[in-house]
Amino acid sequence: MTLPDSVFEELEQWADSQGRPTANLAAFLIETSIRQAKENGEISPQKNKGK
């Protein structure tokens, strides 16, 4: 994933303030956003694709 430098720097500062890796915080934020979008009906629940 590519982020603008300014966004990455802010994400890095946020992660540092929580004592966690930047990638871990990014993954958490993406998961949370997707879950919220599903709950709001913005994303249809994905059907199991044989996994």
State pLDDT tens for residues 7-25: 999 999 999 999 999 999 9
**pLDDT recorded at residue 49:** 62
pLDDT for residue 44 is more than 90: no
Give the mean model confidence (pLDDT) for residues 33-42.
95
Whether residue 11 contacts residue 22, with contact meaning beta carbons closer than 8 Å, is answered with yes
pTM value surpassing 0.95: no
pLDDT for residue 33 is more than 90: yes
- In Å, the largest CA–CA distance within the chain is 40
